[in-house]
Structure 1
Amino acid sequence: MSQPATVSDLLAIMARLRDPQDGCPWDLKQTFRTILPYTLEEAYEVAEAIEEDDMDALRDELGDLLLQVVFHARMAEEGDHFAFADVVQAICDKMIRRHPHVFADADLRTDAELHANWERTKAAERAAKRPAETAGALAGVARALPALARAEKLQRRAGTVGFDWDSIDGVFDKVREELAECRATLDEDAPIAARLHEIGDLLFACVNLARHMGVPAEQALRTANGRFERRFAHVEAGLRATGLAPGPTVREEMEQLWAEAKAHEAEGKRG
């Protein structure tokens, strides 16, 4: 029986694939930028496996994501920037530093105390990386994040320095305000730039509402996308069963099948 594979085995495989003499031509021509789309894709596939409660898929997707980390680390090592061991060292140091109540003698017990300490530590880390005059509260929020996730993170950061709503009532009022302004751009036949502006404000306000309700906005929308896909698949299947196809002429039938799909979901939740 063969021995279980280790991270060292994976590092050796990647080194072999990137060997200038005998490696894989495709792997050899890759760069950080060309691999980046695959890294993002694998992260989303991990999220999908979690959302579907598919543990077999999660095992495989975590492996694919780990491969991305190893790939980037290998290219960095070839460029004399850092190696995989440095990546591991950095995250170990960070986790110990951010958990003084576990690895030191800090007395942090409540969720509020833990969160405040986490944010203070992260702020100190950001300040250490940037000159004091540029190390603002919003510094370091990755621009490559999905827009909803980035909006939520920007809002949380602003909240740590007191720039936040006192209660969720104000957030509901803001959503209603932004919705009315969106309607006004339509009623006034405003140019697309104005509509884009107001829709952006509305989405930002909705993210703020999700945050105050304790709901990750990105996950909420991903879940809504999944519901829409399932329900529309039911609509298409129902139409096919009667020899029909989606289209404006069968709008009533589609609405009925949509309501049926929603009812089935509700029954499943109660069951």
Structure 2
Amino acid sequence: MKVKNSKLLLGAVMALLGAQGVSAETVKVGIAAEPYPPFASADAAGTWQGWEVDMIGAICTAAELECEISPVSWDGIIPALTSKKIDMIMASMSITPERSKTIDFSDKYYNTPSSIVGDKRLEMDATPEGLSGKILGVQAGTIHREYALKHFAPVVAEIKEYQTQDEANQDLAAGRIDATQADSLAMTAFLESDQGQMCCEFKGDAAGDLDILGPGIGIGLRQSEDELKAKLNNAIAAVRESGQYTEISDKYFDFDIYGE
């Protein structure tokens, strides 16, 4: 089965029959419109690429779904799902109790730590004591923001919010903030850039908080769409068992992104 890249269609060329709540001929997969390398970003021609884009293709093919990528602003992606503008979310969205009040999730398809990256000239670690008095940048609407507000707000000088992680990274490189909290893999791409190598370094992973950080990243779905959820769970398992998951991941990472 071929992936239709030219029209941003991913997966098998088959209509979804009988899946609850999905009436369109194609299943619209919401991804964040903001670039988030190495997971998803658009090239100069506007074609989306990255680990998560490749995984969308693999999972949709295994589930025998015809999938269309639909970029949506991150802060509006859950409303887009619940209002049926899109049919599922694959945008590095963590499975959390708070989000599960509004939407449902598939099984996880990857899990990486939430990390602190900071100015390499400053001594700090990923603890309240280590960040005391520092200015910490976070992306709005993320689990990293929620974690920072809960664990670091009482001790940091300021928690500064940004619409995109790239904006936080730019302020970190410019010295306008002391550190940022974000997904460790997303920050790896920044630290490998010329700018990131000059200014910054990993300071450590945030201590676990299952209520906020959750058990991993899942596909966001509308509640009660049990048939679609089952298709996707089976597809995730099939992609892993076939070795395709490792094949895709090895193009981007030198470790098992699936996590424990």
Q: Do these two structures clear the TM 0.5 threshold for a shared fold by scoring above it?
A: no
User: Which TM class, normalised by the smaller chain length?
Assistant: under 0.3
Q: TM-score, normalised by structure 2?
A: 0.22
Q: Give the structure with the higher percent helix.
A: 1
Q: Give the structure with the higher percent strand.
A: 2
The one of the two structures with greater contact order (alpha-carbon pairs below 8 A, sep at least 6) is 2
